[in-house]
Structure 1
Amino acid sequence: MRGREQGEEREPRRGRPRSEAAERAIIEAVVRLLEEGEPLAGLSIERIARTAGVGKATIYRRWRDKEELFVDVLRDIEPPEPALSGTSGLADILIILETLRRRGLAQRDSTLLHSVLSQMKSHPKLWNAYHATVIEPRRVAMRAAVRRAVAAGELRDDIDVELMTELITSPMLVRTIHRRDAPLEDDLSERIVRTLLEGLRPRETATDAVGGTES
């Protein structure tokens, strides 16, 4: 399946037969129904099974409930998760930021993806499942990358890791979630990291360096 977290493996379910063809048919059935205008709340396991040409038991052998199935469907239509080095902190930070940027572009370009995400937020159980299995692992990956950058001397070691993580990701989240009209340029990830590393203070001039001008 697309969209699995780096290093994350889904815990195998007892008795679940591996049939990629059946799994693919079920996910494509859900996507087709959503594209036809069916709301998430109106999709039943019976309707999904009938559209996919499988029995309900085939679905329940793979997913415990609709929420778990819908999370996998969303993972499938989102951009895939990145492959992180696991060694270079700053390089992995850039990869994660770039993934957030591409996901923002995908939501702008895909009416289906935007619609599904919007509907999910009005279904607490589904949103909580998505948050726990998709969003939180991304945050864990970013915190781990920040720690690697600190350990390598690429970032300061006297600032809380959680705060640094939020400082790094917030500009991208603002543009992708809160300001949907904001530009998402190709070099945005690099500019965010470069600006944070350089800081926001004005650059020191030659006059500043020798103590300023006389009054």
Structure 2
Amino acid sequence: MLRAAVRVLAEEGYRGMSFEAVARAAAVGRPATYRRYRDRADLAAAAIAAIGGDVTAPIDTGDTRADLTEFVTRISDAMPHAGIPLLGTVFAERERHPELLARFRERVAEPRRALASALLERGMDRGDVRSDLDVEAAVDHLVGAVFARHITGLPVAPGWAEQTVLTRWRGISC
């Protein structure tokens, strides 16, 4: 159902996305969509969140820098599937449908930020990361690097995530 929702969202935009259109595309009854999602914004955000797999699955390699590299890799790998156009749809509709942006933040942005924050805080507990680190700003730097790379259309070469984390690591590590 979520793959169908992504297709409908990509093809029709948020305006053209309805429970009926998604149910039709998924070959399920409309009640199936109503049972799982509280409203159209919830369905759209769930579809975007599901793109690229379980990006927010726990990460614990035993090494904070490796954990952060895995996080950046996951987010970056999901970006071509999520597509900047789908994110653009969320932001383009923010005035008419603020509930869509709210659900996007709830289902997509906040869980990813929470994972990155947890990785950094665990690094602080391990003594790998400075105890005075502004965790929120560090998360902004990591996530922002991924968005900047994909928005500009620059290639994500092998080793890009490692280099991105290493560049920031110099400022956050002990």
With the length of structure 2 as denominator, give the TM-score of the two structures.
Answer: 0.77
Equivalent residues in 2 for 1:1-215 (5 A)?
Answer: 26-34=1-9, 37-81=11-55, 82-85=57-60, 88-106=63-81, 113-123=83-93, 124-177=98-151, 180-198=152-170
Structure 2 unaligned spans of 5+? none
TM-aligned CA deviation for residue 28 of structure 1: 4.3
Q: Which moved more, 1:63-72 or 1:84-93?
A: 84-93
Root mean square deviation, CA, Å: 2.6
Report the CA distance between 1:83 and its aligned residue: 4.1
The one-letter amino acid of 1:115's match is P
Q: Deviations over 1:115-157 (max 9, x none)?
A: 3222121223212201111111111111111111122121222
Deviation string 1:136-184 (CA, Å, 9 cap, x unpaired) is 111111111111112212122233322333344433332223xx23232
Aligned residues: 166
SS of structure 1 residue aligned to 2:12: coil
Select the structure of larger CA radius of gyration.
1
Instruction: Please give the TM-score of this superposition, normalised by the length of structure 1.
Output: 0.64
Residue 59 of structure 2: SS of its match in structure 1?
A: coil
Q: Which runs of 5+ in 1 are unaligned?
A: 1-25, 108-112, 200-215
Task: Provide the identity percentage.
Answer: 27
Q: 1:28-62 deviations in whole A, cap 9, x for unaligned? A: 44345446x32321222233334444433222111
| 1:86 CA drift (Å) | 7.7
